[in-house]
Amino acid sequence: MVVWRADLYQKEAWQQLSDTSFYAKVDKDLTSANQQIVKSTISDLIVKQELPTTATNLIITIPRTSCVYFLPKIHNPNNPGRPIASACSCPTELISSYLDKIMAPIVRSLPSYIKDKLIFTMDITSLYTVISNGEGLLALKHFFDLRRVKEPSL
């Protein structure tokens, strides 16, 4: 357990959240709008028969806004914070979980795969924040197309 002085925590949070290369300020909570996008997209894909009717199980019934908090890296000078996004019950949580089940066997077969237990022995300065969505989706599609994995049930 690490106790971080409130003023230092807030200073670190503001410093990171002010970095517009990773974060953008929004004027209102977008959770409801994102929930509608998820619902309509899943419904459209069911109508087009690109997803089974059971895909409605991927829709969160009572969504909540994601939050971010910071854990201090006590082994680094000035103890910078590692941002942690908590997306429990956010509109895309169940979709992420489903995709994780589909992609896990593919990811484990890649030569660059690192098991979770090894990650604690490294200092990772940035991970997903520097992967552009487009490049990430292209990589996902590439490796998904290379292998035919039986999809888990929805």
47-99 tens-digit pLDDT: 999 889 999 999 999 999 999 999 988 888 888 898 998 989 999 999 999 88
The residue-averaged pLDDT of 111-126 equals 56
pLDDT level of residue 39 (50, 70, 90 thresholds): very high
pTM of the complete model: 0.67
What residues does each domain of the chain span?
6-146
Who has greater pLDDT, 139 or 57? 57
Model confidence at 119, pLDDT cuts 50, 70, 90, reads very low
What's the CA gap between 96 and 48, in Å, rounded? 21
**C-alpha span between 61 and 112 (Å, rounded):** 37
Residue 130 confidence class, pLDDT cut points 50, 70, 90: low
Residue 150 Cα distances to 56, 101, 103, 107, 112, angstroms:
20, 10, 10, 14, 22
Q: Is the pLDDT of residue 17 over 50?
A: yes
